[in-house]
Amino acid sequence: MKILLATKNAGKIREMNRMFGGSGIEFIGLDTLEDVPEVVEDGRTYHENAMKKAMTYYNVASMPTLAEDSGLEVDALDGAPGIYSARFAGENATDGMNNEKLLSLLKGIPEEKRTGRFVSVLCLVVDGTPFFFEGEVRGRILDHPRGESGFGYDPLFVPEGYSLTFAELGEEVKNRISHRAEAMRKLKDFLKEQFGKQ
């Protein structure tokens, strides 16, 4: 079974296919489509953004489509960057720029108050019907990046119960404990139940 993943991010597509290895499910990206419309993520919640993306690309491709909206919510910043995580430092911001902005806003905040959580909301559209799957992982934000793997805010985020960042733990561990992993487990259970996929 092929599922269109509403992203051009090769890292995300690779991560998803690794998570679902041996399940009979293959994720393909937007780069496999022609004339891909841009979706403006103007929703007020992760759910709204994920559903808008999933529905838009489902209508283009006419195949099961999965979209995600995820973000980092920092307690000391009243939940920011939240739904604006990917464009925190501006519309075309790089991961490095977003990380720099976050670090500058947290300057002087003591370690015990640098808490937050990663949130992931998946929306799967099958036959025009949306289904949602959610996950989160709590942790703390460092005052400097560490590690080379992962993407986004991974070099700054140490999940609860660990001393290494997501970028240091590596994909295998991250894919077991992350916010996306929790949402994926729920998605896997759903697909197994509905379509007999592992």
User: Of the listed 31, 35, 42, 69, which one is catalytic?
Assistant: 69
Domains and CATH numbers, the chain: 2-195 (3.90.950.10)
> Measured between alpha carbons, how far is 12 from 113 in angstroms, rounded to an integer?
30
Beta strands in the chain (DSSP E): 2-5, 26-28, 65-74, 115-126, 129-141, 157-159
Provide the pLDDT for residue 10: 83
Q: Would the CA dihedral through 191, 183, 12, 63 be positive or negative?
A: positive
pLDDT in tens, the chain (198 residues): 999 999 888 877 887 888 788 888 999 999 988 888 889 889 999 999 999 999 999 999 999 999 999 999 999 999 999 999 999 999 889 999 999 999 999 999 999 999 999 999 999 999 999 999 999 999 999 999 999 988 899 999 999 999 999 999 988 898 899 998 899 899 999 988 887 655
Is 69 a residue of the active site? Answer: yes
How large is the angle between the packed helices 166-177 and 10-19, nearest 10 degrees? 50
Provide the pLDDT for residue 197: 56
Query: Does residue 124 contact residue 66 with C-beta atoms inside 8 Å?
Result: yes
> Measured between alpha carbons, how far is 62 from 27 in angstroms, rounded to an integer?
15
